[in-house]
């Protein structure tokens, strides 16, 4: 060591040229901004596909339920009108044969039905879900008891003046049927 001073050795960073630093920053810097990887894209596509399939299935189920609700609503509306017409008929005693057979056909509503629906006697309607066959399912007669009142299918010796009439509405394709019970009383 001549002159008494030790000479410091330059470190490697000191020897790097400014141009080299700019190059290494340009190469190392934007790596995190190159885009998504293939795995990320596949995961995103899978999630979106599952959501789309679920949405289409939900819409399809909604369509099926809404169309079946329309069948139920129309059947109930037509059956209610049919029951009101039979309630308005005069009382027929059970000794007169099978009561309400002609009224059951005459009282089938044929106008002001819900859009696209038809109603008729069994065997006379189309085989679609919008055609309804209306019929008298049964007539039962009060036995005269009161706690509770019971009914029988056979006509008693004397008519007690109270009848249970069960009406049936059935879709022409057999997809839906509904019954309604009304009671008729001798005035």
Q: pLDDT tens, 52-63?
A: 999 998 888 877
Half-sphere exposure (Cβ direction) of 42: Cα atoms closer than 13 Å: 3
User: Quick one: which of 107, 159, 182, 167 has its CA closest to 137?
Assistant: 167
Q: In 3-state terms, what secondary structure has residue 92?
A: coil
Is the dihedral angle over the CA atoms 179, 182, 102, 160 positive or is it negative? positive
List the domain range (segments joined by +) for residue 116.
Answer: 60-185
Does some domain include residue 100?
A: yes
pLDDT of residue 112: 84
Total domain count for the chain?
A: 1
Report how far residue 181's alpha carbon sits from residue 187's, in angstroms, rounded to the nearest whole number: 19
For residue 7, being part of any structural domain is answered with no
Let me know if residue 29 belongs to a domain.
no
Q: Is the pTM of this model over 0.75?
A: no
pLDDT at 52: 94
On whether residue 114 sits in a domain, the answer given is yes
Asked if 173 contacts 149 with a C-beta cutoff of 8 angstroms, the reply is no
Residue 109 placed within a domain: yes
Tell me if 43 is assigned to some domain. no
Has residue 46 got a pLDDT over 90? yes
The sign of the CA dihedral 82, 77, 122, 94 is negative
Confirm whether 54 is domain-assigned: no
How far is Cα 74 from Cα 80, in angstroms, rounded to an integer? 10
Residues 146 and 152: beta-carbon distance below 8 Å: no
Which pair of tokens denotes residue 40?
């990320």
Q: What is the pLDDT of residue 31?
A: 53
Between 24 and 160, name the one with better pLDDT.
160
Q: Considering the domain boundaries, does residue 16 fall inside one?
A: no
Please tell me the distance from the alpha carbon of residue 161 to that of residue 172, in angstroms, as a whole number: 35
Could you give phi then psi for residue 86, rounded to 5 degrees?
Answer: -75, -30
Residue 50 has pLDDT above 80, yes or no: yes
| Residue recorded with tokens 């008891």 | 145
């Amino acid at each position: 060591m001549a002159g008494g001073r030790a000479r410091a050795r330059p470190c490697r960073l000191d020897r790097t040229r400014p141009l080299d630093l700019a190059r290494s920053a340009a190469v190392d810097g934007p790596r995190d901004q190159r885009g998504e990887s293939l795995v990320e894209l596949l995961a995103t596509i899978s999630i979106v596909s599952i959501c789309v399939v679920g949405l289409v299935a939900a819409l399809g189920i909604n369509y099926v339920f809404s169309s079946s609700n329309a069948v139920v609503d129309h059947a109930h509306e037509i059956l209610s009108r049919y029951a009101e017409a039979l309630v308005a008929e005069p009382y027929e005693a059970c000794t007169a044969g099978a009561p309400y057979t002609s009224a059951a056909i005459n009282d089938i509503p044929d106008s002001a039905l819900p859009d696209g629906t038809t109603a008729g006697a069994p065997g006379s309607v189309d085989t679609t879900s919008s055609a309804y066959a209306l019929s008298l399912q049964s007539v039962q007669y009060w036995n005269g008891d009161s706690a509770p009142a019971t009914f029988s299918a056979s006509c008693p010796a004397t008519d007690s003046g109270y009848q249970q009439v069960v009406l049936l509405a059935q879709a022409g394709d057999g997809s839906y049927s509904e019954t309604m019970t009304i009671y008729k009383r001798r005035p």
